[in-house]
Amino acid sequence: MDAKVEKMDSKTRGLVLVAGVASYLDSSLLVSLGIALPIWVNTLSLSAIMTGFLSTLLTLMVALGSVVGGWLSDRFGRVRVFNLDILFVAVGAIIIAFATNIGLLLIGIVLAGLASGADLPTSLAVISERTSSKMYGRAITITQIFWTIGILMSQFIGFLTAGMTVGSVQSIFGIIAVVAFINWCIRVFSKKFRENEEELEKKAKKNMEVSGNEMEKIGVLDILKKKQYLVALIMLTLFYLFWNLPANTWGSFVNYFLETVSGKSQAYATLVALVANIFNLLSNIIYVKLSDTKYRYPVMYLAIVIGTLAFFCAGTWSSIWWVFTIAYVIYSATNTLCGEPIYKIWTQTFYPVEVRASITGVSYGFVRFITAIFSLFTPLLMHWSVSNFLWIIFGCSLSSGVLAILIVRMLHNRGLE
């Protein structure tokens, strides 16, 4: 990687922005469900078990959708499957928005969850096979910005409509449906967009032929038989798992931890989460400038050290609430620099183009499944021992950091960087 980066043209930017909406939809869906759960408890008389089941169901459907969607896109075409994914997110979201009974709600969650999970590996493959490898960092980090915006927008809309009960649910999920439908219309009916997409694909294939890097004919099962791909799959999956466990835990339970476990007010917990997400968004924006340069890994190493030290301090002084608050904000400001964007870049670097969506889907789906199981026990672990729970989070952060360093060495040894 050079300090001077290849300029991203308007066609590539358009492709990345439209594809990046998938990340916006995914995060909005996950966060919006959490906002809607307390409302459904009253309007649909949900039990505590059913409330937990709905959250777990969505995560499991996202995991299943990632595995199935990645395979379908490699088999039947990334663009075709991606377009259908976006459409079914819209359909699922509108069903959730206007569900008047638990049966309809379950149908909407299953449909939206499957489609949402399927669009992530597919969108990454659509982007990577139409852009230069020298743009992977920026392209994928831009999609991560959409992910963070989705979280902030859902929280903001939920705040504005807090007194509307059912109307709040309809507003939050209705907006998701509208955004998904508009995105689908652009992808399907815009002649200019389709032409740009096809032109970028032809250009990328031509560049591969000129460089002598033609597509390797390989199936998904072949990945498991070749050590070079199998090792990469295992390493990347473990890295993402250990990074995602803390990220998902605080994304889903930071309010619960601060209010129920630590005894802080709802206003305090909401403010901390909002500030942390704003810092996360700012670090995403900064990372766009650095992700394709020689500073990608120095920044990653620094973020690993800072994030790990933050939770070391939180574990050491677990009885002091403001130590955790500062640690959480610092972690949120740095975790993007050493986490999901890097994982997504690596998934598009290690694997052959023909199976990228499938393999990424398997890896992402597995991590989401384990995360869903961990989420079931997270409240119990928090109440069991705050100190021990924070040391578990520290262990995950440390493990993901060590794996990241090993993966970078593997990239250099294989001549991929």
d(CA 71, CA 73): 6
Per-residue pLDDT reduced to its tens digit, 338-389: 988 899 888 878 877 777 778 888 888 899 889 888 887 888 888 888 899 9
The mean per-residue pLDDT over the stretch 82-110 comes to 95
Phi-psi group of 309: left, alpha or beta (phi > 0 → left; psi -120 to 50 → alpha; rest → beta): alpha
Residue 234: what pLDDT? 93
DSSP tag of 261: I
Distances (CA, A) of 388 to 316, 332, 392: 10, 21, 6
- pLDDT in the model for residue 217: 58
Identify the CATH assignment for 9-214 out of 1.20.1250.20, 3.20.20.80, 1.10.8.60, 1.10.3720.10. Answer: 1.20.1250.20
C-beta separation of 364 from 242 below 8 A: no
- Best-predicted range by mean pLDDT (44-53, 80-89, 354-363): 80-89
Q: Which of 211-225, 260-274, 381-395 has the lowest mean pLDDT?
A: 211-225
Other residues' Cβ atoms within 10 Å of the Cβ of residue 215: 12
The share of the chain scoring above pLDDT 70, in percent, equals 93
Q: Is the pLDDT of residue 212 over 70?
A: no
**Residue 303: partners with Cβ closer than 8 Å, 6 or more residues away:** 334, 335, 336, 337, 338
| CA nearest neighbour of 145 among 344, 281, 291 | 281
Give pLDDT, residue 266: 63
DSSP state of 396: H
Report how far residue 127's alpha carbon sits from residue 138's, in angstroms, rounded to the nearest whole number: 11
pLDDT value at position 375?
81
- Residue 167 or residue 270, greater confidence: 167
**Which of the residue ranges 147-161, 165-179, 219-233, 269-283 would you say has the lowest mean pLDDT?**
219-233
Residue ranges of domains in the chain: 9-214, 215-417
Q: Are 375 and 59 in contact (CB under 8 A)?
A: yes
Which whole number is the average pLDDT over 182-203? 82
Q: Which residue has the tokens 């916006």?
A: 24
pLDDT at 194: 80
* Backbone torsions φ then ψ of 46, nearest 5 degrees: -75, 140
Judged on CB neighbours under 10 Å (0-12, 13-18, 19+), 335 is buried
Dist. CA 276–CA 209, nearest whole Å: 45
Q: Do the domains at 9-214 and 215-417 have one common CATH topology?
A: yes
Would you state the pLDDT for residue 59?
Answer: 86
Give the H/E segment covering residue 414: none
Alpha-carbon gap, residue 60 to 310, rounded angstroms: 30
- DSSP H helical ranges for 291-339: 296-316, 321-334
The confidence score (pLDDT) of residue 193 equals: 81
What is the DSSP code string of 126-171?
HHHTTS-GGGHHHHHHHHHHHHHHHHHHHHHHHHHTGGGTHHHHHH
Of residues 132 and 308, more confidence is placed in: 308
Indicate the pTM of the whole model: 0.80
Task: Return the pLDDT at 98.
Answer: 95
Give tens-digit pLDDT for 284-300. Answer: 888 888 888 888 899 99
Name which of 286, 63, 44 is nearest 165 in CA terms: 44
Q: Which fold has domain 215-417?
A: Growth Hormone; Chain: A; (1.20.1250)
Backbone angles phi, psi at 101, to 5 degrees: -150, 165
Residues 163-192 have a mean pLDDT of 90
- Calpha distance 210→91 (Å, rounded): 43
